[in-house]
Amino acid sequence: MTIDLPLLPLGRGVDLSAERGVECPGDLPAASDPDLVARALAAKEALGERVFVLGHHYQRDEVIQFADVTGDSFKLAREAAARPDAEFIVFCGVHFMAESADILTSDTQQVILPDLAAGCSMADMARLSQVEDAWDALVDAGIADSVVPVTYMNSSADIKAFCGRNGGAVCTSSNAETALEWAFDQKGGVEAGAKVLFFPDQHLGRNTAVLKMGLSLDDCVVWDPHRPHGGLTVEQLRDATMILWKGHCSVHGRFTATVVDELRATLPDVQILVHPECTHDVVLKADLVGSTEFIIQTIEAAPAGSTWAIGTELNLVKRLAAAHPDKHIAFLDKTVCYCSTMNRIDLPHFVWAMESLVAGTVPNRIEVDPETKQWALVALQRMLDLPGRSHKD
Ligand code: 13P
Ligand code: SF4
């Protein structure tokens, strides 16, 4: 049995597609074309082993059905790296994921994002020039030598390259704790005064630092790139252990502690399961917190009849509810919407990309320049080399 999921509007997220110059070239098939599924199947069959389709868990059902592998951003990065024979990687996800796939695959492989407007509002909240300004402030404060930059996977390739160049690493929601431990160790540990500059998601950084690493909220400060000197004094920077970037996910940031309280009042047996991109007060009230892979595994392992409210992207929650009719699964909020940029990849764009490949044209190739690639790979490789995982994938 499922608990009714609200039908919600699409929306939210900063759409920087105009800035990226991302008009879709060529003719998109009409969404009403009744043959779209057959056309996608035919194109996939025609391309055979030459193409490998990756699908993030937040993708629409109409697209995810064509994925050779589904996963969270960490799993998909590893899957891309593990397919050296596929000439084309069609990435059904968002721009930063396709960039990471390009960085992790060989120069003979081509990564395609079916709609270039599929960006990520969180990734867009940290620009390289802003991060360099923050770093300059740390240098001026005399503390840069104690700071390791760690960027969430949800960031552009040039931010990952910045971390590679400056002794830092990438992390994802499923290995943030291990990545932070590694980062503090690079400078002799927290007791020795080691600090982390963490971007772009303040919530993942704070939740991991406080709930997994035993730091206090007072150990964390927030650098606001839109305020002079990040809105912080030199003393605040020197006293902090975690310098969090003022960025957030426009989807996960909308879940509220009030709705958690309301659900607990109406469904006494409910277990609250949320993604660590949710705000700290929501995570504090949750029963379980973890990446999308963790959320999926938790629901798969849950006993029949158990009741859950899940705080993550709606496409995934609806799919979990449909796949587990023996469990009661609700969305954690009445008003939170889909990730609008993830939803840009729809069946017409997928068919258009696949048929273009069949016709011998490579559409919407995501190609990171060689120097950025070299340094971003350093940061990504440091993540891939981290020991263990905080959950099995
Ligand atoms: P993960 O895929 O790492 O769980 O991150 C969630 C997300 O917001 C992806 O954009
Ligand atoms: Fe970005 Fe959030 Fe959408 Fe993920 S869910 S792509 S972090 S806006």
Which of ligand 1's atoms lies nearest the C-alpha of 292? 4
d(CA 316, CA 308): 14
- Whose CA is closest to 134, among 253, 278, 213, 240? 240
Asked whether the predicted pLDDT for residue 30 surpasses 60, the reply is yes
The predicted model gives 44-53 an average pLDDT of: 97
The predicted model gives 170-192 an average pLDDT of: 96
* Type and span of the H or E element at 265: helix 257-266
Q: Nearest bound ligand to CA 339?
A: 2
Q: Is the CB of 173 under 6 A from ligand 1?
A: yes
Which of ligand 1's atoms lies nearest the C-alpha of 56? 2
Q: pTM of the full predicted structure? A: 0.91
Q: Please provide the CATH number assigned to the domain covering 36-121+341-368.
A: 3.40.50.10800
In DSSP terms, 234 is beta-bridged to: none
Of the two residues 128 and 335, the one the predictor is more confident about is 128
Q: Is the CB of 114 under 6 A from ligand 2?
A: no
Q: Spell out the residues 6+ positions from residue 50 whose beta carbon is closer than 8 angstroms to its own.
A: 86, 87, 88, 357
Q: Is the CB of 291 under 6 A from ligand 1?
A: yes
Among 3-7, 82-86, 296-300, the range with the most confident prediction by mean pLDDT is 296-300
Between the CA of 178 and the centroid of ligand 2 the distance, in Å, is 22
Q: Is the CB of 154 under 6 A from ligand 2?
A: yes
Between the CA of 351 and the centroid of ligand 2 the distance, in Å, is 23
Q: Is the CB of 105 under 6 A from ligand 1?
A: no
Query: 123-249: which CATH architecture?
Result: 3-Layer(aba) Sandwich (3.40)
The predicted model gives 81-98 an average pLDDT of: 94
The predicted model gives 264-274 an average pLDDT of: 95
Least confident of 7-11, 193-197, 272-276, 320-324: 7-11
Cis? peptide before 29, omega within 30° of 0: no
Q: Is the CB of 122 under 6 A from ligand 2?
A: yes
Q: Nearest bound ligand to CA 343?
A: 2
Q: Which residue has the tokens 């990687």?
A: 89
Structure tokens at 333: 């909020």
Q: pLDDT over 70 for what percent of the chain?
A: 91
Between the CA of 235 and the centroid of ligand 1 the distance, in Å, is 34
Q: What is the mean pLDDT of the chain?
A: 91
Q: Spell out the residues 6+ positions from residue 88 whose beta carbon is closer than 8 angstroms to its own.
A: 47, 50, 51, 52, 109, 110, 111, 112, 357, 362
Which residues of the chain does CATH 3.40.50.10800 include? 36-121+341-368, 123-249, 252-331
**Does domain 252-331 correspond to CATH entry 3.40.50.10800?**
yes
Between the CA of 341 and the centroid of ligand 2 the distance, in Å, is 8
Asked whether the predicted pLDDT for residue 237 surpasses 70, the reply is yes
Q: Spell out the residues 6+ positions from residue 103 whose beta carbon is closer than 8 angstroms to its own.
A: 157, 160, 368, 373, 376, 377, 380
